[in-house]
Homo-oligomer: A and B are copies of this chain.
Amino acid sequence: MTTRTETQAETGQAAGVDDLGWGLGALLRGYRRRVTDAIGDFPHGARGYQTMCAVVGGDHPSQLALARDLGIDKTVMTYLVDDLVEAGLVERRPNPADRRQRQVVATERGARAVAELCRRVDAAEDDLLGRLDGDERATLRRLLSKATGPAPGHTAEACALVTGESEEAGRPTE
């Protein structure tokens, strides 16, 4: 109920546009704005948070796999990871299986930061979907997941995984 009117103000009322593209864009704009406000001065804003989520939640063998998963350019991923390393949130370690690849793993501090931000982002998502009831929110998430393809992994799951056993996130390989 906090910022429910912002979506309407932001989108205006005359939306005689292509509804799928417009709806996706409008909802994503609202999402990014809320998440940006929620996480404060995290290294690269919403992108940095999403990257950290992917690092913690999924096992990506290389920076390139990470970039492709998030739809980020690989040249951007380079300095994005640079800044995350500088902030002490992740570490770059050469993949022993293929020394061309650099595996990105979260540090203890990074895992804790994600777990903390996860809660705020969940609240931001609830605010974003304020016009939908519980069933509708679940349906929307399910349809998005189905439309984009098989998406094994969840923020909620990654969150619980991190909060439950944070020391495992620090040493994934050995």
Instruction: List residues of chain A with CB under 8 Å of any chain B CB.
Output: 7-8, 10-32, 35, 46, 49-50, 53-54, 56-60, 65, 68-71, 121, 125, 128-129, 131-132, 136, 139-141, 143-155, 157-158
A129 and B147 contact, CB distance less than 8 A: yes
B125 and A20 contact, CB distance less than 8 A: yes
A153 and B14 contact, CB distance less than 8 A: yes
A153 and B65 contact, CB distance less than 8 A: no
CB distance from A83 to the nearest CB of B (A): 19
B19 and A35 contact, CB distance less than 8 A: no
Given contacts A7-B148, A8-B150, A129-B147, contact A69 B14 (CB under 8 A): yes
Given contacts A15-B153, A153-B16, contact A147 B143 (CB under 8 A): no
In the complex, A54 Cα to B12 Cα: how many Å? 12
A23 and B54 contact, CB distance less than 8 A: no
B23 and A145 contact, CB distance less than 8 A: yes
B58 and A20 contact, CB distance less than 8 A: no
B21 and A35 contact, CB distance less than 8 A: yes
Given contacts A28-B24, A147-B131, A147-B140, contact A154 B19 (CB under 8 A): yes
Report which of B30, B145, B153 forms a contact with A148, defined as CB distance below 8 A. B30
B53 and A151 contact, CB distance less than 8 A: no
B157 and A16 contact, CB distance less than 8 A: yes
